[in-house]
A and B are shown apart, each in its own frame.
Chain A
Amino acid sequence: MKTILVLGLLTIGLLFPANSIAQSLPSGKNIADNTYARNEGISLNRTLTMELKDKRGKTRIRKTTSLRKYFGDEKRLAIFYLTPKSVMGTAFLTYDYPDASVDDDQWLYMPALRKTRRISASNRGDYFLGTDLTYEDIKLETRISKDDYNYKTIGLETVDGKTCYVLDGTPKNNTIAKELGYSKVKLWVDTNIWMLRKAESWDVAGNHLKTTLISDIKKVQGIWTYHKIEVKNHKTNHETIFRISDVDYKTELNDDVFTKETLVNGL
């Protein structure tokens, strides 16, 4: 019996040499590249509702129209607030340049002042308009950064019934860590559609900071689209739920939607 067990283990050892599972997994860079290669359409029009929930359960809801369009490799994103009515008209515009060394350009239109303010994009780790996602998180849109982290693919796990690559990411240096506000991330990327399904992050001091879950992923007009993002901040116990609806990739957006004039004039 003992001999059979040893022979069995030897056979398994010959068939599946040590580390072979890890070696067969794609590299972090490869996975990151695939998240970027995912089809996102040229232009996108959607309703984005943000539900902000504090630790006492008090909830504030912000409804926006979110528009995105690629101009070659450059991505432009505009968000127009629809509710609450007292901040209706607030609008945010960002130009995301393909060259990572070039800072994005960002503008915020404040209807109470009727003025458009330039916003520094260098603080990419700042939280986006009261939510639990940072400007950088918003910009990545379920892709994983190609330039900021050293990744290690550590295995396969199931999230929401789907198989995902699990990656550990550490910022390439302290400056990047401080900019992003994270000292470490753990990411779950769908092996089939190359979309982030779950993320855990730790702050610069090493404390567990946030859990992000991306769900309700389905094809819209042939393009894999997420419809819900839940972010829980473990330090503040604040929670943000992003709900995406009325997704439209087909109606081409005019270029001039992504201008300061449209921020002022509205949609």
Chain B
Amino acid sequence: MSIVSQLATILLNGLQQGAIYVLVAIGLSIILGTLKFVNFAHGALYLIGTYLGLLITLTIRVSDGKLAEWGFGQVGLGWGFLPALIIVPIIVFGVGLLMERFVARPFYDRPDTDQILLTFGLAIVVQEAFKILFGGQSYNFARPARTSLGPLELQLSGPISLPVVGTIGIWRLYVIAITAVLVALVYLLIEYTDFGLVVRAGTRDAEMVRLLGVKITRPYLMVFGVGAALAGIAGVVGGTLYAVNPNIGMDVLVPSFLVVVIGGVGSIRGAVVGGILIGLTLSSLVAVAPQWSQVGIYVLAAIILLTRPQGLLGSEEVAP
């Protein structure tokens, strides 16, 4: 195998692995940057997204947990994957709005530790609720092999042969593509719309924005909702890659926080760079020194924190 194709494989694997983290981290990052709210329950939104996606896409057999006890041995709509990809972010957006209004808002002016305790507790509550309902077992979130989108016939799973790289699971390319499109949309929303302008201004100096007569609570609500919706989509997309169980929310949270730390709080570009860096570090270390792959991402985060505490693309806090 040539060096070029090996590098291309590492690149693709890294991009795909980073992609899920990017989707989760963008929400975390803009909520943290804009609202100064540390949301440890962000992984729970991912978890909700995954289970919703699973239930919309397939009909699953539940043999454990309360649902089975109550006689719901088979649950799910079985509508297919594309409806899930559209419906889930809308629902999770709503969940995000509720979370902002009833959980986050009363805590905006409280210290970080309070926010962490609150949201961490909430994350555990959500996780345990899923465990009670569906049992601790793992489900297989299988995508249909093909799907048709109007006249377009799409192959969703199975391998594909690419020049240079060789064989790769086609779904991994979709994951990268979906992430790229979503990131672009959010970037445009924040950088080029009036809404985005208010959000960015609020990030710099919320008090001044308020004094200028802008009602800032509404954009804040939207930011939270958008962040949540992204986590929901990440859940649908990421859920299909691995087995689904109640712990996946917590599992995705820690690397996503690392992405925020590496990229810089509040920066969408930072989250993208951070996610890709973590993905690439993981995939290249697996190729070179597998035993160091997990440690590697933390070493990377430590080096960046030591040399550039605000993250790669984060801006330094200006003291008020």
The answer to whether A and B belong to the same complex is no
- Please report A residues at the B interface, Cβ cutoff 8 Å: none
